A and B are shown apart, each in its own frame.
Chain A
Amino acid sequence: MEVLASLGDGFSVAFTLQNLMLAALGCFLGTIMGALPGLGPSNGVAILIPLAFTLGLPPTAALILLTSVYYGAMYGGRISSILLNIPGDEPALMTCLDGYPMAQKGRAGEALALSGVASFVGAFLATWGLVFIAPQLVKVALLFGPAEYFALFTLAFATLGGISSTNQAKAAFAAALGLGIAMIGVDGQTGVPRFTFGEVHLYDGIDFLVALVGLFALSEVLIFLEHRHGESEASAKKVEIGRITPSLSMLKYCTPTMLRTSVLGFVAGVLPGAGASLGSFISYSMEKRLVDREGTFGTGDPRGVAAPEAGNNAAAGGALVPMLALGVPGSGTTAVLLAVLLALNITPGPLLFTQNPDVVWGLIAALFIGNFMLLAMNIPMVGMFTRVLLVPPRILMPVVAMVSFVGIYGISGSSFDLLVMVLFGVLGWLLRKLDVPLVPIILGILLGNAMEANLRRAISISDGDWSVLVGSPLAIGLWVIAFVGFILPIIFGAALKRRMKLAASKEDEGELVD
């Protein structure tokens, strides 16, 4: 068992006092960020990347901190779903359906504890899946030449909108915008400046961290400012927590559900274009169809809490498979994690497993450790996390803005970068209003140069023959998947999205309309 030996080495990397402290800190911060409405895993990790970077942490330590934040945020998203009926992030939407009714019956503590356990089961099994599947995918990826990589990048962009995407033209627009931004700066292969308009600051290109923090964090502040007279004060109402340990019989009752949905969620996470939101949605729908004989789903059935939580955390783990093995993320949060790796000068992909095994396996070991920490933290300390929800956004959002500025200023110490960040904040706000997804923009900025380099390498090798791009069965296969992945949402996307919305709004009647 070569894999287990590597994993053992990973644990020896992760088990230092500093790394364990960082994992605990990351889990704690992540849970808080996930719990706060409006600050999801993407925003949370985005704000912290520049900080981890400027603190000069070594790559493995920084990765451990940030992936703990990622996992923590996936756990935390459920807290506001259950207590306030406001999902902390999109995947936590389905947890509202049974979690909030449970809270209303005075079983909030049980729902929180059960969802904590379900999150743990999902994430734990998915991490095992990652351990065994990622190395297999690496073997396939080692067969890829530049032409296949170019096709793979196209596939990532084509499927990123996901099958719940409503407007593929807007996803394509966003991807092109991101790729275009990546082109700014000196061309790596010939040394000529492109799109710099003589501005020296632009010769290095636009730092993706600046774009990332601006698009995600600052635009969030602007959105809050716009909806100031919203429901922000309503969150202060007190909910009875009740007992915070789930009974053994309830856990036993939910175990088959958790196991099934973990597998389903993991598969949804690995597949391109699905991601955690879909993972939790199909997990909930499948369980409802399988076990809901008395029609209790939607009225506070514990299995309805366990299913989406196990599914969404398993999907989060599954999404790491293509990100680590291929260097191509399949979802928004993994795109942000890719940014983490690139900021640390680590290029994910098949070579990472052979060249930096300590980073890969240290990271995977950190995921296991983080998982246990989150479970330990979440059961007894859940009452403390619920108190975080009482901090009003009017105080919180300025803090978010200021911490964003600190992080970016810390990297370069230049006002120019801060101005670019504000510009991206405004752009992010405008595009969010217009329903243009932001993740393809980030991915375009991240992958643009690698994508172009692969294209030019492929065509240089073939002496200028562009047909090399479809020159192998593997490449053709990737193009076909990309094409289907782009077309499918146009046919099914609107219907699926409508069903997800409907399922969320119909919770009072407890009916999922098919």
Chain B
Amino acid sequence: MSDRILGGTGIVLSLFFIWQATLIEISPFSDVVGPSAFPIIIGVVLGLSSLYFLVKPDVGPEWPAPARLFEIVMAVAVMVLYAELLPVLGFIIATALASSYLTWRLGTRPLQSVLVGVLTSGGIYLVFRVILGLSLARGPFGF
């Protein structure tokens, strides 16, 4: 079933891709082939391969139970939040929060997770900012 969904999605994607490729404006200085031809070829390959596993799907994978899936969605949400908040909070605070969360959800006890998170953040800051001089995001406190 999973493969069928992948195949269906692939076909929709390929049709959308080909449609978008035909919409590319042609510049008057274009070469013989133009900017649309290769994307259309790619779209066709994408569509054909999707069609194959729509018709002949493999045995589907074992999807995680809802609780596990929720875990993954939450982790992704934390990563997105991290990306957004990094410039606002600065590197050390944002990283300590995010890695504490991930460590906790991977099975460390809460208090220990906070410790590991702070150490991870501080360690990365020490190695990459202080020793190697990489520019990391600066928050309101300058780190």
A residues apposed to B, CB below 8 Å: 51, 54-55, 167, 169-170, 172-173, 175-177, 179-180, 183, 187, 189-192, 194-195, 218, 221-222, 224-226, 228-229, 232, 393-395, 397-399, 401-403, 405-406, 409-410, 413, 415, 418-419, 421-422, 425-426, 429, 433-436, 451-452, 455-456, 459-460, 463-464
Chain A min CB distance to B10 (Å): 6
With a cutoff of 8 Å between Cβ atoms, the chain B residues found around residue A195 in the complex are 17, 20-21, 39
Closest-CB distance, B59 to chain A (whole angstroms) = 9
Bitwise, B72-84 to A at CB < 8 A (1) or not (0) is 1001100110111
Q: Say yes or no: is B93 at the interface (Cβ < 8 Å to chain A).
A: no
Given A55-B134, A172-B49, A180-B42, also A415-B2 (CB < 8 A): no
Against A, the Cβ 8 Å flags (1 = close, 0 = not) of B112-137 are 00001100110010001000111111
Q: List 30 A-B contacts (CB under 8 A).
A: A173-B50, A183-B42, A189-B31, A192-B24, A194-B21, A194-B24, A221-B75, A225-B71, A225-B105, A226-B64, A393-B106, A397-B102, A397-B106, A398-B98, A398-B99, A398-B102, A398-B103, A399-B124, A405-B95, A409-B137, A415-B84, A418-B82, A421-B83, A434-B2, A434-B3, A451-B38, A455-B33, A455-B37, A455-B38, A456-B33
Say if the beta carbon of B61 comes within 8 Å of chain A.
Answer: yes
The residue that A222 contacts in the complex, of B38, B75, B82, B133, with Cβ under 8 A, is B75
* Min CB gap A400→B, angstroms: 10
With A221-B102, A435-B61 given, can you name 17 additional A-B contacts, CB distance below 8 Å?
A169-B52, A172-B45, A179-B42, A183-B42, A190-B26, A190-B30, A195-B39, A228-B106, A398-B99, A398-B117, A398-B120, A402-B99, A402-B121, A415-B86, A426-B76, A456-B37, A460-B32
Query: How far is the CB of B64 from the nearest CB of chain A, in Å?
Result: 5
Cα distance A183–B13 in the bound complex, in angstroms: 14
The minimal Cβ–Cβ distance linking B124 to chain A, given in whole angstroms, is 6
Contact with A422, one of B6, B17, B79, B120 (Cβ below 8 angstroms): B79
Q: Which chain A residues lie closer than 8 Å to B139 at the CB level? A: none
How many angstroms from the CA of A409 to the CA of B43 in the assembled complex? 32
Residue of B nearest to A418 (CB): B83
Q: Choose one: B2, B45, B82; the contact of A405 (CB below 8 Å).
A: B82
Contacts of B42 in A (CB 8 A): 176, 179-180, 183
Residues of A with C-beta under 8 A to B25: 192
A422 and B64: CB pair below 8 A?
A: no
Do B46 and A176 touch across chains, with their CB atoms under 8 A apart?
Answer: yes
B110 interface residue (CB < 8 Å to A) = no
Counting chain A CB atoms within 10 Å of each CB, the highest count among B6, B102, B116 belongs to B102
- Known contacts A169-B53, A173-B46; decide if A192 and B124 are in contact (CB<8 Å): no
Cα A195 to Cα B72 in complex, Å, equals: 30
Q: Are B35 and A167 closer than 8 Å at their CB atoms?
A: no
Task: Give the Cβ gap from B138 to chain A, nearest Cβ, in Å.
Answer: 10
The answer to whether A175 touches B80 (Cβ under 8 A) is no
Tell whether, in the assembled complex, residue A180 and residue B43 are in contact, meaning their CB atoms are under 8 Å apart. yes
Q: Shortest distance in angstroms between B114's beta carbon and chain A's nearest beta carbon?
A: 12
Central interface residue in A409, A429, A459, by most chain B CB within 10 Å: A409
Kindly report which residue of chain B lies nearest to residue A222, judged by CB atoms: B72
* Residue ID in chain B nearest A393 by CB atoms: B106
User: CB distance A456 to B31 under 8 Å?
Assistant: yes
Contact B61 A402, beta carbon cutoff 8 Å: no
A218 engages B79 (CB within 8 Å): yes
The verdict on B63 contacting chain A, using a C-beta distance below 8 Å, is yes
Kindly state the separation between the CA atoms of A94 and B6 in the bound complex, as whole angstroms.
33
Cα of A176 to Cα of B84 in the assembled complex, Å: 31
Which chain B residues border A229 with CB–CB below 8 Å? 107
Question: Could you say which residues of chain A place their CB within 8 Å of the CB of B30?
Answer: 189-190
If the complex has contacts A434-B2, A460-B33, A464-B32, are A224 and B124 also in contact, measured as CB distance less than 8 A? Answer: no
- Closest CB-CB distance, A437 to chain B, in whole Å? 12
Select from chain B the residue with minimum beta-carbon distance to A403.
B124
A36: shortest Cβ distance to chain B, in Å? 15
A409 / chain B contacts, CB cutoff of 8 Å: 86, 136-137
User: Using Cβ atoms and an 8 Å threshold, which residues of chain A touch B120?
Assistant: 395, 398-399, 402
- When chains A and B are docked, how far (Å) is the Cα of A39 from the Cα of B24? 41
Q: Note all chain B residues with C-beta closer than 8 A to A418.
A: 82-83, 86
User: Is B49 within 8 A of A419, CB to CB?
Assistant: no
Closest to B108 in A: A394
A394 with B53: in contact, given A183-B38, A192-B24, A452-B38 (CB under 8 Å)?
Answer: no
Provided the pairs A180-B39, A415-B84 are in contact, do residues A459 and B32 lie with their beta carbons within 8 angstroms?
yes
B72 touches A226 (CB 8 A): yes
Partner among B35, B95, B117 whose Cβ is within 8 Å of the Cβ of A189: B35
